[in-house]
Amino acid sequence: MPTLAPAPGRRDGRDGGTSETPPEKPTALVVESDVGSSSAVCGYLVELGFSVTAVASGVGAVIAARNSVPTVIFLAIQLRDATGADLVTWLRANPALAKVPIVAMQTLGEDAPALEAGGFDARLKKPTSVAKVAQVIREACTGAS
């Protein structure tokens, strides 16, 4: 006799869980060549419930974003192979990525007006904290920077 799957939301009795698929985690792409900064931001995002992909180059960012469209992108202003402004242009040119919020990760001394002209949705000043990362995600996703 065939086994019937339980109705959605009903317990199946085997593992105490439900048969419904849990909601997918939001995803973040972190583009940063500095290992310490990348590790910190990735850790904060994981703490906030994100699944995170980290890359250290502009080329890596374009490939990763095309392979799996993230919920949000955190982008260093200056990488070894590209500027943040160049990457924003390249990412926005892809229709699948055009509306993905992009957060500039700004270190001390980087020019704020240049960031605003770069097409970023929000900016995160480093060093940072989990509370600041959460705040900037809200700003980037609502357009309230």
pTM score of the predicted model: 0.78
Contacts of residue 143, Cβ cutoff 8 Å, sequence gap at least 6: 121
Can you give the pLDDT at residue 14?
44
CATH assignment of the domain containing 122:
3.40.50.2300
Q: Quick check: is 90 in a domain?
A: yes
Can you give the pLDDT at residue 5?
38
Q: Quick check: is 91 in a domain?
A: yes
Can you give the pLDDT at residue 8?
43
**Two tokens, residue 139:** 């700003």
Smallest CA-to-CA distance from 61 within 45, 82, 39 is with 82
Pair 64, 29: CB distance under 8 Å = yes
Q: Is 101 exposed, middle or buried (0-12, 13-18, 19+ CB in 10 A)?
A: buried
Instruction: Please give the average pLDDT of every successive group of 10 residues along the chain, which has 145 residues.
Output: 39 48 85 92 94 96 95 91 89 94 80 64 85 87 63
Work out how many domains the chain is built from and give that number.
Answer: 1
Can you give the pLDDT at residue 83?
85
Q: Quick check: is 132 in a domain?
A: yes
**Two tokens, residue 80:** 């070894």
d(CA 134, CA 130): 6
**pLDDT tens digits for 81-106?**
988 888 999 999 999 999 999 999 88
d(CA 73, CA 111): 20
**Two tokens, residue 112:** 């704020």
